[in-house]
A and B are shown apart, each in its own frame.
Chain A
Amino acid sequence: MANRDHETDLIVIGAGLAGLVAANVAAEKGLHVFLLEKQSNTGGSSALSGGCLAFAGTDLQERLSIDDSSERLFKDLREVGKFENDERLVQLYVDNQLATYHWLKAKGVLFGQELEASSGQSVPRSHNVDPADMIRVLTAHAEQHPNIEIVFNARTLRLLTSDDGQVAGVQYERDMSSFFLYAAHGVLLTSGGFCRNPDLVHRYAPQYDGAICIGGEGNVGDGLRMAQKLGADTSDMAYIKGTFGKHPTDHTNNHSMLAVYKGAIAVNQLGRRFVDESISYKLLGDAVIQQPYGASFQIFDQHIMGSGDNQFRILDFERRHEAGLMYEANSLAALAEQIEVPADELIRTVQQYNQAVEDLFDPEFGRTALVQGLGALVKIDQPPFYAYPSSVAVFGTYCGLKVNEQLQVVDVFNEPIEGLYAAGEVVGGLHGAAYMTGSALGKAAIFGRLAALQCAGMLSQD
């Protein structure tokens, strides 16, 4: 084993969105940065994401006459997290989201010109990007910046500490050799979550053993474990959630489809509803995983099919239909036969739901709106009828290291581990019990930028 020492100002571990933003910001502030990426390319889970970032009070919202604000965003984040989230982190997100939005735009990240209300949002605030394109833009900036050195295929093994316990560097492995790398301004963990580590998922969320795990290949929780070795505390571990709406047996499209947010109902293999379909798709995931076979069907009609929107992956019904992922029939009985649910049960379920829509009262599950209190319910009565098989996918773990407002990782006594910072999916505490669409990518960008500013000693000056 070769031992070769290097020194730099800041070590960033993981080149997803958080790591790329952090490296670029730190370099802009004059720090020399080593960005260590375990994989052979950048992007991680961010590149695989739906590309939604939750921002409030933007020029885009203003143009679309959407009345949003930091205060409203704060209220929504707290409510969707069922007040289990760390209020200080929510405030940190809210206070810095607009500046991060402008920073991304200045870097050349392109945002779509339409906004749609999504899970956990009281007004439309999902700002859409092509995630792969955003990663390419930020990677190009990092590669061109003289202060940034990206090291691919570099697997970080351990955090190195000085005699006084401060994190001073890392040991990493590349090309069968081991290196020691030291940083004067600390180590920033942007290493993602652990959805690709079945043992860890089982440890914290055994109910998701049968779920499909989709995320960056490197998301195995190594950052979490390295920090835990130094006594790091964790947050939100009890709230790992799968996302509802993933086709259970298709491997070509990993994104969820949420016809329920346009009026579809979700039924299980028995042909029965089991949940208020308007709630967060994370909570829907919790409900579906408990159904027989951990699966369900989104049932809808031609009217709802026509309300899809191919600008948004989760609402792009037509493409799923063209890809042969849906069942279609001119009657509910014929549809039931195709999906092997009892026909009389499915017909009764839809009749009861349509009656509930007419009565403006859903006695079984209390559904009052399409999504999160918004949108009037519609009957399912215009053939042809459709069924979209829907199970649960764990796209990210949304929980992890406990940090303070300076993005310092704190230990089990709530004291900062000097020299160790975290941003992105590896951080717990922001989401709480559930998740607002766009807040994971938003967290990556916002906290990545803030952590870099902190490491540069400029957080309070920004």
Chain B
Amino acid sequence: MRIAVLISGVLDYRRPIDKPSSGNWLDVIDSPSLPYRLSPFDEAALETALRLANLGGNHLTIITTDCSADKALTCTLLAYKPDDIIRLSVPSCLRGNARGLVTLLSVELEQQRAEADLWLMGREIGDLDDGHLAPYLAQCWGLPLVSNALVVNTQLTDLSLQRLRINRIEELTVQMPVIISMTNDRRNRLRHPLMKNLALAKRQTIPLHRFDLGSSGAVLSKAQLVAAEPVPTRYDSLENCHILQGEIAAQAREFARLLIDKTQSI
């Protein structure tokens, strides 16, 4: 089984942020020295990937995005001894832009996309993602998506997993290839790397792959983002609210009909 885990990282509030070389704090978002740490969801995805990879005969690739320039964090990830690590330097203008990021990932990860059996990532990936990246990626790549997974196990050629639903835990079996977004759970708490492997990791050099923004028309420039106005909402007053009535099943039917109507009208 080939496993790919996407790691974004979040800003590490415990480490100081250096003033950008330009002297302008507004440029800090592009600073290569921004300190990152793993989010709890990154950790859940990584631990799941490590546990599955350690079962033997499996291949693990770690792909870092927002945090890719952070050498200390890269070193920590290397200390987990993945088979590969790919550092993608994501332009700051793509933070929080799941659709744009997926466009670039599709280009840059074409080979991994074709080879990987299992894609793992946190249920939110990065400081600005609100859970959109995984479904966008699944839609773009035509892969099934399981979200909010707590634990993933192999079962012959399939995967058995538990995922978190409202007020319950659902157990299901899925076929690969599949994208799974993980949420944190006691069972997927990230192990600590060994000091030995950290020391050895410090001696390694992994190139940082930079995107060519000019090649993609789907990406906004940073200047455009700064100037962007808030997007007006379609349902911005109580007049557009629709309260569902009746039994739960009737509400579900009505809600489904509403969604279909709205989708067709967009």
Q: Which chain A residues numbered 312 to 336 have a C-beta less than 8 Å away from chain B?
A: 324-325
A293 beta carbon closer than 8 Å to chain B: yes
Contact A249 B189 (CB under 8 A): no
Q: Which chain A residues numbered 196 to 254 have a C-beta less than 8 Å away from chain B?
A: 247-251
Dominant secondary structure at the A interface:
loop
How far apart are the CA atoms of A292 and B197 in the complex, in Å? 11
| A-side contacts of B262, CB under 8 Å | none
Determine which of B14, B191, B195 lies in contact with A248 in the assembled complex, contact meaning CB atoms within 8 Å: B195
How far apart are the CA atoms of A324 and B199 in the complex, in Å? 21
Contact A249 B193 (CB under 8 A): yes
**Nearest-neighbor residue (CB-CB) of A291 within chain B:** B195
B194 beta carbon closer than 8 Å to chain A: yes
Max chain B C-beta neighbours (<10 A), residue from A248, A250, A269, A292? A248
Contact B194 A340 (CB under 8 A): yes
Query: How near does chain A come to B109, taking the closest CB pair, in angstroms?
Result: 29
Contact B195 A249 (CB under 8 A): yes
How far apart are the CA atoms of A156 and B53 in the complex, in Å? 54
Q: Which chain A residues numbered 263 to 311 have a C-beta less than 8 Å away from chain B?
A: 269, 292-295
A391 beta carbon closer than 8 Å to chain B: yes
**Nearest-neighbor residue (CB-CB) of B200 within chain A:** A293
Determine which of A249, A269, A294 lies in contact with B192 in the assembled complex, contact meaning CB atoms within 8 Å: A249
Determine which of A250, A251, A295, A325 lies in contact with B196 in the assembled complex, contact meaning CB atoms within 8 Å: A295
Binding site for B on A (CB under 8 A): 247-251, 269, 292-295, 324-325, 339-340, 389, 391
Max chain A C-beta neighbours (<10 A), residue from B14, B196, B198? B196
Max chain A C-beta neighbours (<10 A), residue from B189, B197, B199? B199
Contact B191 A324 (CB under 8 A): yes
**Nearest-neighbor residue (CB-CB) of B191 within chain A:** A324
Q: Which chain B residues numbered 197 to 235 have a C-beta less than 8 Å away from chain A?
A: 197-199
How far apart are the CA atoms of A294 and B202 in the complex, in Å? 14
Contact B195 A391 (CB under 8 A): yes
Query: How near does chain A come to B256, taking the closest CB pair, in angstroms?
Result: 43
Max chain A C-beta neighbours (<10 A), residue from B14, B192, B197? B192
Query: How near does chain A come to B35, taking the closest CB pair, in angstroms?
Result: 13
Determine which of B76, B189, B194 lies in contact with A324 in the assembled complex, contact meaning CB atoms within 8 Å: B189
How far apart are the CA atoms of A391 and B198 in the complex, in Å? 13
**Nearest-neighbor residue (CB-CB) of B76 within chain A:** A249
Contact A295 B195 (CB under 8 A): yes
Total interface residues on B, CB under 8 Å, equals 12
| B-side contacts of A391, CB under 8 Å | 195
**Nearest-neighbor residue (CB-CB) of B81 within chain A:** A340
Contact B196 A292 (CB under 8 A): yes
Q: Which 5 A-B pairs have the closest CB atoms?
A: A295-B195, A248-B195, A249-B192, A293-B199, A293-B196
| B-side contacts of A295, CB under 8 Å | 195-196
Determine which of B14, B192, B197 lies in contact with A325 in the assembled complex, contact meaning CB atoms within 8 Å: B192
Contact B198 A340 (CB under 8 A): no
| A-side contacts of B76, CB under 8 Å | 249
Contact B198 A249 (CB under 8 A): yes
**Nearest-neighbor residue (CB-CB) of A292 within chain B:** B196
| B-side contacts of A325, CB under 8 Å | 192
| A-side contacts of B191, CB under 8 Å | 324
| B-side contacts of A324, CB under 8 Å | 189, 191-192
Q: Which chain B residues numbered 156 to 215 have a C-beta less than 8 Å away from chain A?
A: 189, 191-199
Q: List 7 A-B contacts (CB under 8 A).
A: A248-B195, A248-B198, A249-B193, A269-B196, A295-B195, A324-B192, A340-B196
Contact B195 A293 (CB under 8 A): yes
How far apart are the CA atoms of A12 and B196 in the complex, in Å? 44
| B-side contacts of A248, CB under 8 Å | 195, 198
Query: How near does chain B come to A400, taking the closest CB pair, in angstroms?
Result: 27
Contact A389 B189 (CB under 8 A): no
Query: How near does chain A come to B74, taking the closest CB pair, in angstroms?
Result: 15
How far apart are the CA atoms of A402 and B189 in the complex, in Å? 48
Contact B196 A294 (CB under 8 A): no
**Nearest-neighbor residue (CB-CB) of B47 within chain A:** A324
| A-side contacts of B198, CB under 8 Å | 248-249, 293
Known: A249-B198, A269-B195, A292-B196. 14 other contacts (CB 8 A): A247-B192, A248-B195, A249-B76, A249-B192, A249-B193, A251-B14, A293-B195, A293-B196, A295-B195, A295-B196, A324-B189, A339-B194, A340-B196, A389-B195
| A-side contacts of B199, CB under 8 Å | 293
Query: How near does chain B come to A40, taking the closest CB pair, in angstroms?
Result: 16
How far apart are the CA atoms of A340 and B196 in the complex, in Å? 9
Query: How near does chain A come to B225, taking the closest CB pair, in angstroms?
Result: 33
How far apart are the CA atoms of A295 and B198 in the complex, in Å? 11
How far apart are the CA atoms of A250 and B191 in the complex, in Å? 10
How far apart are the CA atoms of A391 and B194 in the complex, in Å? 11
| B-side contacts of A389, CB under 8 Å | 192, 194-195
Query: How near does chain B come to A292, taking the closest CB pair, in angstroms?
Result: 7
How far apart are the CA atoms of A247 and B198 in the complex, in Å? 13
How far apart are the CA atoms of A251 and B76 in the complex, in Å? 13
How far apart are the CA atoms of A324 and B195 in the complex, in Å? 16
Max chain A C-beta neighbours (<10 A), residue from B14, B191, B195? B195
How far apart are the CA atoms of A248 and B192 in the complex, in Å? 9
Query: How near does chain A come to B89, taking the closest CB pair, in angstroms?
Result: 26
| B-side contacts of A247, CB under 8 Å | 192
| A-side contacts of B189, CB under 8 Å | 324
**Nearest-neighbor residue (CB-CB) of A339 within chain B:** B194
**Nearest-neighbor residue (CB-CB) of A294 within chain B:** B195
Max chain B C-beta neighbours (<10 A), residue from A247, A249, A251, A292? A249
How far apart are the CA atoms of A324 and B192 in the complex, in Å? 8
**Nearest-neighbor residue (CB-CB) of B197 within chain A:** A340
How far apart are the CA atoms of A295 and B199 in the complex, in Å? 10
Q: Which chain B residues numbered 73 to 113 have a C-beta less than 8 Å away from chain A?
A: 76
How far apart are the CA atoms of A250 and B190 in the complex, in Å? 11
| B-side contacts of A250, CB under 8 Å | 192
| A-side contacts of B192, CB under 8 Å | 247, 249-250, 324-325, 389
Q: Which chain B residues numbered 1 to 36 have a C-beta less than 8 Å away from chain A?
A: 14
How far apart are the CA atoms of A283 and B27 in the complex, in Å? 48
| B-side contacts of A339, CB under 8 Å | 194
